[in-house]
C-alpha cells in the first residue's frame, strides 16, 4: 500500500480520478495529502470531502526555494512514497525534482515529446497541436526529471484530432482519457511493475 502525495493548482479532476481509483481498490495505495499553491483551488475541496489532508502553500512572500522547502517538508511529514503532479502550475527546481527522482509523475495533455516544455500547458498545447495540423493527439504520463516534460514515458494514449476541433473540444476529448490513464500508471507503480531503464520505462508483467 503506497502513500501518495498530490500537488494540484486547479480543479483537480485528475486528482478526483486518482482518489476514486484508490477507493475502488484499483490502486494499491491511498492519497494521504494534497498540496496546492492556490488557497482557493477546488482540488483542496475535493480532498477534504474525502477526509484527505489538504494544505495550501501559497508562494507569495517566499522565495522559490523556500516555497519548495515547505512543500518538501509537508510531503516528508506525510511520509509519501510517490508524488503525483496533477495540474500543478509551477516549474519545479532541479533540487526538488532530484529529491523525488523515480517517484514523481506528471501527466501532459499531448503525445510527448511533441508539444511539451516551457509554456506548453492547458489551451496552449491543444491550440499548437491543431495549428500544426496533427491528426492525432493524446496524453502522456511520465516520470519527472529536471528537463520540463522530458522524463521517461510510462504510458500514452491517443485520440484523433478532428477537422472541426477547437482547443476546447480537443481538451474535452483528452481529459476523460487522462482520468483513465493516470490511475493506471499509478497502479502500475504501486504494484512495483515499473522499471526505469535509462530513457525507457519497462512495464513488468
Residues in contact with 106: Cβ distance below 8 Å, sequence separation at least 6, in sequence order:
85, 88, 141, 142, 144, 149, 151
CA distance 32 to 178: 21
Residues in contact with 72: Cβ distance below 8 Å, sequence separation at least 6, in sequence order:
96, 99
Q: Which is nearer to ligand GRF, 103 or 175 (CB)?
A: 175
Q: Counting contacts by CB under 6 A, is residue 134 touching ligand GRF?
A: no
C-alpha cell at 45: 475541496
Residue ranges in 59-78 that form contacts with ligand GRF under rule CB under 6 A: none
Q: Which is nearer to ligand GRF, 14 or 68 (CB)?
A: 14
Q: Count of residues binding ligand GRF (CB under 6 A)? A: 13
C-alpha cell at 53: 489532508
Q: Which is nearer to ligand GRF, 172 or 198 (CB)?
A: 172
Q: Counting contacts by CB under 6 A, is residue 102 touching ligand GRF?
A: no
Identified binder of ligand GRF from the candidate list 10, 102, 117, 152, rule CB under 6 A: 10
Q: Is 142 a catalytic residue?
A: no
Q: Counting contacts by CB under 6 A, is residue 108 touching ligand GRF?
A: yes
CB 10 within 8 A of CB 87: yes
The side-by-side arrangement of strands in the sheet containing 200-203 is 53-56, 29-36, 2-7, 82-85, 104-108, 136-143, 153-160, 200-203, 194-197
Q: Counting contacts by CB under 6 A, is residue 11 touching ligand GRF?
A: yes
Question: Which stretch in 30-38, 65-73, 103-111, 147-155 sits in contact with ligand GRF by CB under 6 A?
Answer: 103-111
Q: Counting contacts by CB under 6 A, is residue 183 touching ligand GRF?
A: no
Residues in contact with ligand GRF by the rule CB under 6 A? 8, 10-15, 86-87, 107-109, 178
Which sequence positions are flagged as catalytic? 108
Amino acid at each position: 500500500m503506497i502513500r501518495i502525495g498530490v500537488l494540484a493548482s486547479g480543479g483537480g479532476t485528475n486528482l478526483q480520478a486518482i482518489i476514486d481509483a484508490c477507493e475502488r481498490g484499483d490502486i494499491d495505495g491511498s492519497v494521504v495529502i494534497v498540496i496546492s499553491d492556490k488557497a482557493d483551488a477546488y482540488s483542496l475541496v475535493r480532498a477534504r470531502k474525502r477526509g484527505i489532508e489538504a494544505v495550501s502553500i501559497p508562494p507569495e512572500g517566499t522565495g522559490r526555494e523556500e516555497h519548495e522547502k515547505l512543500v518538501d517538508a509537508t510531503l516528508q511529514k506525510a511520509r509519501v512514497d510517490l508524488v503525483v503532479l496533477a495540474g500543478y502550475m509551477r516549474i519545479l527546481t532541479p533540487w526538488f525534482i532530484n529529491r523525488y527522482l523515480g517517484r514523481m509523475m506528471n501527466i501532459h495533455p499531448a503525445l510527448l515529446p511533441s508539444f511539451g516544455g516551457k509554456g506548453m500547458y492547458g489551451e496552449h498545447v491543444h491550440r499548437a497541436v491543431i495549428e500544426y495540423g496533427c491528426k492525432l493527439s493524446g496524453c502522456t504520463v511520465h516520470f519527472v526529471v529536471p528537463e520540463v516534460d522530458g522524463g521517461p514515458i510510462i504510458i500514452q494514449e491517443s485520440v484523433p484530432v478532428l477537422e472541426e476541433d477547437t482547443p476546447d473540444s480537443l481538451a474535452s476529448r483528452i481529459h476523460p482519457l487522462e482520468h483513465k490513464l493516470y490511475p493506471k500508471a499509478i497502479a502500475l507503480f504501486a504494484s512495483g511493475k515499473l522499471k526505469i531503464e535509462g530513457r525507457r520505462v519497462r512495464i513488468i508483467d
